[in-house]
Structure 1
Amino acid sequence: MQLDPKNEWVLLADRLDWCRMEEKTRYNELFPSKTGHPAKPFRMALGSLIIQKRKKLSDRGPVKEIGENSYLQYFIRCESFRKGCPFTAPLLVSFRKRLGIEALMTVNDIFLSAAAATK
């Protein structure tokens, strides 16, 4: 499936400095244990929270919309379109708690700069 390169989610995904934001939040340090399920990727975690805020959704909203929308799946870096979301609503709550308010504030300026460029 070919995505429209002018879609707002494609533009924003390509403008955000995901590596810099991941480094600033020290995301990998939040998961020191090598046992259990591997952590979801940073872009999936933060991207889903960005979708939730931009679209003013409840915790269940992003799960439903990501599961139905190839542009949102691109935004959170799914390799290809898949039916259904790669995480559940309770995991979205976990993303927010793990990242914490301080980390989210850290990436806010980077996000706002990139978002302004897409308008």
Structure 2
Amino acid sequence: MYKNTGSEPKMANLPYFLDGTLNINNRWVKLAAIIPWTDVEEIYALNFTSHTGPKALPARTAFGSLIIQVKLSLTDEETIEMISENPYLQYFLGFERYKQEAPFDSSMMTHFRKRFGAQDIKDIDELLHTATRKKEEDSNDDSDNDPPSNKVL
């Protein structure tokens, strides 16, 4: 016979499950480190000529959401749901802390796609490749300066 002892997790304890630390080897943390966000911001800003109206979401949030959607093959609604469930994705988008609610309405994904045209994507892709190559070259330069190993093969 089995008697339920009430050991089912309580939803009120869920926030304590996340201790606030992120694994630096997570793919989203690594990707966030190599994307030239300042350049993405400059490209994004060119799409806004008016100084009136509601404030737009940051470029990192907009472009990062599109990356998440493409990499994970998600619909607009699934993208928002995934972002609201995953602290790594929220970090990738530049959020300061984890929030369990949707960061924006799924209809914003359409606006993000309009604001990053084909040429913008090509420009950002080239910047990303340049940044990646530079990082690899810097890494190779650092390993060239390491003292020789006394290992015998």
TM-score range, shorter chain: 0.7 to 0.9
Q: Which blocks of at least 5 consecutive residues in structure 2 are unaligned? A: 1-19, 137-153
Structure 1 60/111 Cα, relative in aligned 2: closer, same or farther at 3 Å? Answer: farther
Structure 2 counterpart of 1:7: 26
Task: Kindly provide the CA deviation profile for residues 1-24 of structure 1, in whole angstroms up to 9, marking residues without a partner as x.
Answer: 11111100001101211112333x
Structure 1 counterpart of 2:61: 44
Q: How many residues align?
A: 113
Aligned alpha-carbon RMSD (Å): 1.6
Q: Looking at both structures, which has the greater relative contact order when contacts are Cα pairs under 8 Å and sequence separation is at least 6?
A: 1
Structure 1 counterpart of 2:70: 53
Amino acid at match of 1:20: D
Structure-1-length-normalised TM-score: 0.86
Q: Which blocks of at least 5 consecutive residues in structure 1 are unaligned? A: none
Displacement of 1:82: 0.5
Confirm or deny: 8 A CA contact 2:40 2:60 kept in the other structure: no
Task: Kindly provide the CA deviation profile for residues 51-110 of structure 1, in whole angstroms up to 9, marking residues without a partner as x.
Answer: 001111111121000000000000000110001221111101110011212211221233
Structure label with greater radius of gyration: 2
Q: Aligned residues: percent identity?
A: 37
Moved over 6 A (4+): none
Displacement of 1:111: 3.7
